[in-house]
Amino acid sequence: MNDIVLSVRNLKKYFRPHRNLVQTVLKNTPVRPIKAVDDISFDITKGEIFALIGESGSGKTTTGKLIMKLLDPTGGSIFFNGQDVTHLSKKALAEYRKRVQMIFQDPYASMNPRFRIRDVMEEPLIIHKVGSHRKERHALIAKALQEVKLTPPEEFMNRWPHMLSGGQRQRVATARTLLLQPLLLVADEPVSMIDLSTRAEILHMMKEVQQDLGLSYLYITHDLSTARYFADRIAVMYLGRIVEVGPADEIIDNPQHPYTQALIQAVPEPIPGRVSTIKELPISGEIPNPSNIPEGCRFHPRCPYATEECKNQEEPVLVPLSTNSNHFHACRRAGQFTPIGKTSTQV
């Protein structure tokens, strides 16, 4: 337990929408809560990269905001280094945010365009009262820029954000999180706004920083191709719930939930000498409205293997693939069907 940096237990976040005009006229129309995060649990250990993947609308970013204390949970608990941080005083929250930092999705929007890079990076130091004078703070900034391979740091400190490339901005965003010496970084789609040619370079930099400083990451993404090579473990999220979790290679090579299989099928496969074609996926449609979650297994309206049992019985919970396995899935029919793209001998 001492190695667990973050522990999330039965975390929930429900949003209650405002009554619209139709609901105001039809006063008997119920206003259902939007279940963005609906009872999830997971642990992140020291030095681990834990990936949370799923389609847009699955609740990944809301989970990240709950952990960052940008949102208050509706239910459940969050433990950091063994201490309950679900509800914190203003003073305790400031200390918590020094230890848990976030890399936002858009490096263009997460910086004040009227600040030079030195000012962008000095701001958190001033807020948290780190460094007794500007010279000391600038020394810390230069060190952080060197850690993310922006050298010479003095050259970048005097630039404006518009003078940097997308990759350089994301490096600055990463360096800014390192200034307060955090233990956990929440990286929300950190390379989705960056050119494809520089994504691998940025992820490699983030991995080097993580290994050098012993950091833990919550890596939020919809990109399985990067999650496999960047993360140690992967949790697949659908409509507010985790439906499969386990070691990264195990999840990719032996997916048990039909939703995980569909996400893997959606990843393009570069074949030399052949023109890529759009693959037909086994699922269709979009994630249902989180204010009207289907009965039974919440994935059954889109699942090609769903039975009446999936529709009518209680929602399945995470169970281990086998005795003492660290691969868990929430599918009653796991192992009873041939996964898409595999032969029966490969199941």
232 inside domain = yes
CA distance 339 to 266: 14
The least confident of 59-63, 87-91, 98-102, 341-345 is 341-345
Q: Which residues pair with 6 in a beta bridge?
A: 44, 80
Please tell me whether residue 305 adopts helix, strand or coil conformation: coil
One-letter amino acid for residue 167 of the chain: G
pLDDT over 70 at 61, yes or no: yes
Confirm whether 52 is domain-assigned: yes
CATH code for position 121: 3.40.50.300
- Output the pLDDT for position 233: 96
Nearest to 47 by CA among 87, 3, 110, 112: 3
**Vertex 35 angle, CA 29 and 41, to 5°:** 155
In a domain, 201, yes or no: yes
Question: What is residue 194's predicted lDDT score, i.e. its pLDDT?
Answer: 74
Could you read off the pLDDT of 283-316 as tens digits, one per residue?
Answer: 777 788 888 898 999 999 888 888 888 898 899 9
**Across residues 45-71, what is the average pLDDT?**
93
pLDDT band at 329 (very low <50, low <70, confident <90, very high): very high
C-alpha–C-alpha distance, residues 165 and 294, integer Å? 44
- Report pLDDT digits (tens) over 226-271: 888 899 999 999 999 999 999 999 999 999 999 998 888 877 666 5
Alpha-carbon span 156 to 170, nearest angstrom: 13
Residues in Cβ contact with 270 at an 8 Å cutoff, skipping those fewer than 6 apart: 276
Strand ordering across the sheet containing 83-84: 34-45, 4-15, 75-80, 83-84
**Residue 155 falls inside a structural domain:** yes
Whether the pLDDT of residue 347 is over 60: the answer is no
The phi-psi region of residue 151 (left if phi > 0; otherwise alpha if psi is between -120 and 50; otherwise beta) is: beta
Give the pLDDT confidence score for residue 65 in this predicted structure: 94
pLDDT confidence of residue 324: 84
User: Is a pLDDT exceeding 60 seen at residue 1?
Assistant: no
Residue 190 has phi, psi (to 5 degrees) of: -70, -15
pLDDT in tens, 152-208: 999 999 999 999 988 888 899 999 998 999 999 999 988 877 777 778 888 888 898
In a domain, 78, yes or no: yes
Determine the structural domain holding residue 77 and report its residue range. Answer: 4-268+281-329
Q: What is the pLDDT of residue 330?
A: 93
What pLDDT sits at residue 57?
87
> 337 in a domain, yes or no?
no
Q: What is the 3-state secondary structure (H, E, C) of 127-189?
A: HCCCCCCHHHHHHHHHHHHHHCCCCCHHHHHCCCHHHCCHHHHHHHHHHHHHCCCCCEEEEEC
Q: What are phi and psi of 187, to 5 degrees?
A: -105, 105
Residue 71 confidence class, pLDDT cut points 50, 70, 90: very high
Token pair 């130091």 is at which residue? 125
Q: Where are the alpha helices (DSSP H) in the chain?
A: 21-25, 60-67, 90-99, 117-127, 134-147, 153-157, 166-178, 196-213, 224-230, 248-253, 258-265, 308-312
Q: Which residues of 40-75 are buried (b: 16+ CB within 10 A; e: fewer)?
A: bebbbbebbbbbbbbbebbbbbbbbbbbbbebebbe
Q: Is residue 314 part of a domain?
A: yes
Position 33 scores a pLDDT of: 86
Res 307: pLDDT? 87
- Would you say residue 62 lies in a domain? yes
Indicate the average pLDDT of the chain: 86
Give the other-Cβ count within 10 Å of 343's Cβ.
8
Tell me how many domains the chain contains: 1
Q: Decide: 304 and 285 in contact? Cβ < 8 Å.
A: no
